[in-house]
């Protein structure tokens, strides 16, 4: 119980940091010039669903829609990935300028093969990334993502859930942080905003 409370407190603290970023972005987004001083994002080295080692630099030139979650997630992760897939469909030809990305926070269970099957359920362009625990930790830290294993009472050791923050991160073609969409943001809203950015 105590460990659970500690995780909740930590998640709340991280949530406040991200919430501040959201508020900042919403204000800045009202103007034609979007600032990028919020320290979110950074270099990462991970493995994609085809077993290739990739870095953030491999995706330069495209807008990135990034979601951190895990394949055994029972609810919010598939919902948000479904939103990402819908955004790609709504963008039409503009989707060529966007790379949707799912980064696992559960490298213990999210193997390359399992990740490949999972992301294929949502959209053909969705990239799934995993890595060593250290690589995942570094990527999550760069994006200010909270995550922690949450064992289930009376369950098997492998039947755990993952507590994690839930946001869609938007990164620019140059790798700069542009903003976040809170969980539950509609695909129409994301597509409208992203489409406007692409159109210039």
Q: Which domains does the chain have, with CATH numbers?
A: 2-31+42-199 (3.40.30.10)
The whole-number pLDDT of residue 37 equals 58
The whole-number pLDDT of residue 109 equals 96
The whole-number pLDDT of residue 38 equals 56
Please give the average per-residue pLDDT across 68-86, as a whole number: 97
Three-state helix/strand/coil letters over the chain: CHHHHHHHHHHHHHHHHHHHHHHHHHHHCCCCCCCCCCCCCCCCEEEECCCCEEEHHHHCCCEEEEEEECCCCCCHHHHHHHHHHHHHHHHHHHHHHEEEEEEECCCCCCCHHHHHHHHCCCCCCCEEEECCHHHHHHHHHHCCCCEEEECCCCCCCCCCEEEECCEEEEECCCCCEEEEEECCCCHHHHHHHHHHHHHC
The whole-number pLDDT of residue 107 equals 97
Please give the average per-residue pLDDT across 148-153, as a whole number: 88
- What pTM was computed for the model? 0.82
The whole-number pLDDT of residue 192 equals 97
Report residue 20 as tokens.
Answer: 């501040």
pLDDT tens track for 11-44? 444 444 444 444 434 434 433 323 445 589 999 9
How much is the mean pLDDT over the chain? Answer: 86
pLDDT tens track for 165-183? 999 999 999 999 999 999 9
pLDDT tens track for 50-65? 999 999 999 999 999 9
């Amino acid at each position: 119980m105590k460990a659970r409370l500690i995780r909740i407190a930590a998640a709340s603290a991280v949530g406040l940091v991200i919430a501040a970023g959201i508020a900042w972005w919403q204000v800045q987004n009202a103007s034609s010039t979007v600032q990028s001083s919020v320290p979110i994002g950074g270099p990462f080295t991970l493995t994609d669903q085809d077993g290739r080692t990739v870095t953030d630099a491999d995706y330069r030139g495209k807008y990135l829609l990034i979601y951190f979650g895990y394949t055994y997630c029972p609810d919010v992760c598939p919902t948000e990935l479904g939103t990402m897939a819908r955004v790609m469909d709504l963008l039409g030809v503009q989707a060529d300028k966007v790379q949707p990305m799912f980064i696992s926070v559960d490298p213990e269970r999210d193997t390359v093969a399992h990740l490949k099957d999972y992301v294929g359920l949502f959209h053909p362009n969705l990239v799934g990334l995993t890595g060593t625990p250290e690589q995942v930790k570094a990527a999550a830290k760069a994006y200010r993502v909270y995550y922690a294993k949450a064992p289930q009472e009376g369950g098997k050791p492998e039947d755990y859930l993952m507590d994690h923050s839930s946001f869609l991160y938007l990164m620019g073609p140059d790798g700069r942080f542009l903003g976040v969409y809170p969980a539950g943001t509609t695909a129409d809203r994301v597509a409208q905003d992203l489409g406007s950015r692409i159109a210039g």
